[in-house]
A and B are shown apart, each in its own frame.
Chain A
Amino acid sequence: MAALLEVRGLVKNFPVRTDLLGRVKSFVSAVDGVDFDLHQGETLGVVGESGCGKSTTARLLLHLIEPTAGTIRFEGRTVGTAELPWKAFRRQVQMVFQDSYASLNPRLTVAESIAFGPMVHGLSRREAEARANALLDRVGLEPNLMAGRFTHELSGGQRQRVNIARALALHPRVLVLDEAVSALDKSVEAQVLNLLLDLKEEFRLTYLFISHDLEVVRFMATRVLVMYLGRVAELGPTEALYTGSRHPYTTALLGSMLSMDPDRRTDAAPISGDPPNPIDPPAGCRFHTRCASAEPACAGRVPVLTALGGGHAVACHMSEPGSGHSRATGRAA
């Protein structure tokens, strides 16, 4: 199946210090060579610790920040070129932000916020407002009660519903959900997640679902991408990854999940310490400083994302044949 969205070699370095002439002296390597595909109709979950580059990847995808390197192809057309200009691409890909309050303009009414995008793309005010009302109704907010309200008069759950309606207003194909439910109460979160599942069905959407909540990702995602310090650590179908993780980082991350089953207590020691400083990331595998299985080979060379079959791939020297690690496997299992 051809990918709807192909991301190749995405890199973003944020300058930290520049000299007098504005030349970058040191930078934060926020995203370093991320590749992934997004297939029509799937939900790709992106997980990882704070600062691993999840949100930066999302913002790069929508070109809210300028990538240092990398290409994005949508339906085989390279985005940002004459083939597919950014404005046309943005109709197809929209984003829901984590902070439902900060992502709505406090001076605009709910309907004005939702109608803004369609009006930018040439709809008349009347048409855009009709679309806004229809979408409000669809996300479970009574238009007559809500359309004329301001952000501060809504609850967190209502605001996030408005944000979802705003993101849907351009009839996009892909929705990037950047921690979209993380700030909500558990009960509201469940409602919004179910709403997202319904909307996905109805509008034939594809989701890029970014979250630090592994349970939520397991519930939502068809495939999961694990990021560590700006790189892809592991990628695979949700169940295969949750039950048979191959990267020590994924295993540690999953081990930190609380279990509902007393027979499956969380006994694996969670990884300790903070991620290394991304201004000066470790050489080779970026995880080797915290990895229980690290060997000298790990610090020497960057592990390659190796396919394990079944769509499962991992960037670890232990799964890479001939990597020099004592536990390196033969051909993929």
Chain B
Amino acid sequence: MSASPAGALVRSPGYWVAVLRRFARDPVAIGAAAVVLGLILMAVFAPWLAPQDPLQGMTLKRLRPPGTEGHLLGTDELGRDMLSRLIHGARISLFMGIVPVFTALLAGAAIGIVAGYAGGWTNSLLMRTMDVFFAFPSVLLAVALAGALGPGILNSIIALTLVFVPPIARVAESVTTGVRSRDYVEAAKASGAGALTIIRKHVLGNVLGPIFVYAMSLIAVCMILASGLSFLGLGVKPPMPDWGLMLNTLRTAIYTQPLLCALPGVMIFITSISFNIMTDGLRSAMDIKA
């Protein structure tokens, strides 16, 4: 090997650096990402941010409208400070939106990648099993599973995870099937590498991006489903502050304090739309043509 005349090794920025740069040039997506980050920070620092105890009610000051002295966003049906409850509610609501999707991402991606890479008989077995779950609408499935498992946070997480495994597996399978037939995978096989090595080195890097973006888009759906479960009394139990549960308990006051009742819904709306816009931005940033 000849000595190279040029100096230091030129290393190009990787794919993800390019994606981040493109993402940063999209003002709408950056705005949405900032909102998501704000919500996450709000959830993390809830005890320091909330002006009052979210569980402490005052029976004399029930259902006060927003703007009441001492209660910026009013009080709920038990006289608890709405602002504090909404801030604290971000904790459990975001948790219920993100955790099931991430557990489903691990399981679904594993199933989908194995099915897609193996093909044939293994693929049919795994994917037809997944298809069984598609026979039910996701809301119905979540409610049925949560109902069967019994109420509680852990059971709702399990139910929601099971709801999201099949769609993620399906996306993972289709992306992997596409990558499997690429020449670079053939070349890797031709070099004598085993299936696991090829999946690790050549498949994962090319499929995780799209799968991850798809999973991100499910976080909003998951949050709404989790809120639905709480609303039905299958998820979070009172008095824990959760946006879905708050919608439920405040609904009786819809004619007397409509603005107050809408507040938890507004939070769910802001969160889900921010996640969706951020995901869209990420998706287009990842769509780099050579």
Contact = CB atoms under 8 A, between A and B. Distances in A.
Interface of A: 59, 62, 64, 86-87, 90-91, 94-95, 97, 99, 101-109, 113, 116-117, 120-121, 130, 133-134, 137-138, 142-153, 163, 166-167, 169-170
Nearest to B15: A107
Given A105-B201, A144-B7, A170-B191, 6 more contacts: A97-B183, A105-B188, A106-B206, A117-B192, A152-B288, A166-B187
A105 B179 CA distance: 10
Contacts of B132: none
Interface in B140-192: 182-184, 186-192
19 contacts: A62-B190, A95-B186, A97-B186, A103-B184, A103-B187, A106-B15, A107-B205, A109-B11, A116-B193, A120-B192, A120-B194, A120-B197, A137-B1, A137-B4, A138-B1, A144-B8, A149-B12, A150-B12, A167-B187
B7 to A, nearest CB: 7
Contacts of B183: 97, 99, 102-103
Contacts of B12: 109, 148-150, 153
A105 B6 contact: no
A133 B197 contact: no
Contacts of B194: 120
A150 B190 contact: no
Contacts of A104: 184
B210 to A, nearest CB: 13
Contacts of A106: 15, 206, 290
Contacts of B9: 144, 147-148
B187 to A, nearest CB: 5
Interface string B1-31: 1101011111110110000000000000000
B187 A86 contact: no
A251 to B, nearest CB: 34
A279 B15 CA distance: 43
A107 B206 contact: yes
Nearest to B204: A107
Contacts of A134: 1
Contact of B192 (A90, A108, A145): A90
B1 A90 contact: no
A133 B11 contact: no
B62 interface: no
B202 interface: yes
B182 A102 contact: yes
Contacts of A103: 182-184, 186-187
A137 to B, nearest CB: 5
Contact of A145 (B10, B190, B288): B10
Contacts of A167: 187
A149 to B, nearest CB: 5
Contacts of B11: 109, 148
Contacts of A121: 191-192
B10 A95 contact: no
Nearest to B183: A103
A95 B187 contact: yes
Contact of B191 (A97, A117, A151): A117
A169 B193 CA distance: 14
Contacts of A153: 12
B208 to A, nearest CB: 10
A147 B4 CA distance: 12
A64 B189 contact: yes
Contacts of A116: 188, 191, 193, 201
Nearest to B8: A144
B125 to A, nearest CB: 12
Contacts of B201: 105, 108, 116
A35 B262 CA distance: 77
B10 A148 contact: yes
A297 to B, nearest CB: 42
Interface centre among B9, B191, B192 (most CB of A within 10 A): B191
A145 B9 CA distance: 6
A97 B6 contact: no
A120 B191 contact: yes
A151 B290 contact: yes
B209 to A, nearest CB: 9
B206 A105 contact: yes
B186 A94 contact: no
Nearest to B206: A107
B162 to A, nearest CB: 30
A91 B187 CA distance: 12
The CB with the most chain B CB atoms within 10 A, among A90, A102, A107, is that of A107
Contact of A142 (B4, B188, B189, B197): B4
